[in-house]
Structures are given as structure tokens and as C-alpha cells.
Amino acid sequence: MARPDNARYQETHEWGRLEKDGTVTIGITDFAVDQLNDLTFVDLPEKGDKVTRGEAFGEIESVKAVSDLISPVSGKIVAVNDGVDGDDFSALKKDAFGAGWLIKVKPDNAKELDKAKSLADYEKQLAEEAH
């Protein structure tokens, strides 16, 4: 799966992408999905909730671990992907950067996203983690 270069990436393997309408779509990377392996549960916030950059907005669980989901921006949640909330994780596994998105946020300051890594920097991080 090719990672999009129009997204920004966090060290904790979440991604954020600024959309044309000014919202930020947030998900987890294909690498995170592969590492977690057998997903069992995703706990996502409600539409209308607030998220804060650098803080957890939910959790994702697998048979191996429970991981916090960390927001790359602060703002108000305007959409939650019902397609990954529950026990069907196929969208997340097949299309982490498309159908597998988790939340959409109306950011307080979209420039916060610039603090996350570029695709090149994220892939460099992955290469270093592999050693």
C-alpha cells in the first residue's frame, strides 16, 4: 500500500491529511495496522467531541496490545467513521489511508499538522525502527 505524500505522519503512527474543505482526516498508518495484527476493538470519540494535539482521542486494541490514538491537531470532531467502529476492521486493513480513516476534525489551527512528519521523514523513521 502506497502511503500518500499529502498526509503528515506522527511518530506514534497516526496520520493526518488537510482536506479541501478545511477539515483534517485522521487515521492510523498501514504500518500500525500490520504491527497490531489481529485487531479486536476500536474505541473512538463521538461527533462533537474535542480533541487536543498530542493527546489521546481513543484506543485501538489487538490481541497483542492496547494503543492510544494520538491526535495531530486540536479541534472539534465533525465525523467518525462507523465503518471501523465495531468488529469489522476490513476497511482499516485494506485501505488505511482511504476507507479506513478514523475521525475528521475541524481544526482550531490547521498549521498544527505541519509539526508532524513528512512522508520521507516517516519512512526514514520506519527504516530506523526496522534495525
Answer yes or no: is 2 within a domain. Answer: no
> pLDDT band for position 131 (50/70/90)?
low
User: What pLDDT, in 10s, does the model give residues 47-91?
Assistant: 999 999 999 999 999 998 899 999 999 999 999 998 886 667 889
- Averaged over 18-39, what is the pLDDT? 94
Distance from C-alpha of 99 to C-alpha of 81, rounded to nearest angstrom: 9
**Measured distance CA(60)–CA(44) in Å, rounded:** 8
Please report, for the domain that includes residue 77, its CATH number: 2.40.50.100
**Within a domain: 38:** yes
- How far apart CA 71 and CA 121 sit, in angstroms, is 18
Q: In the chain, how many domains are there?
A: 1
Domain that holds residue 110: 8-115
Residue with cell 513528512: 118
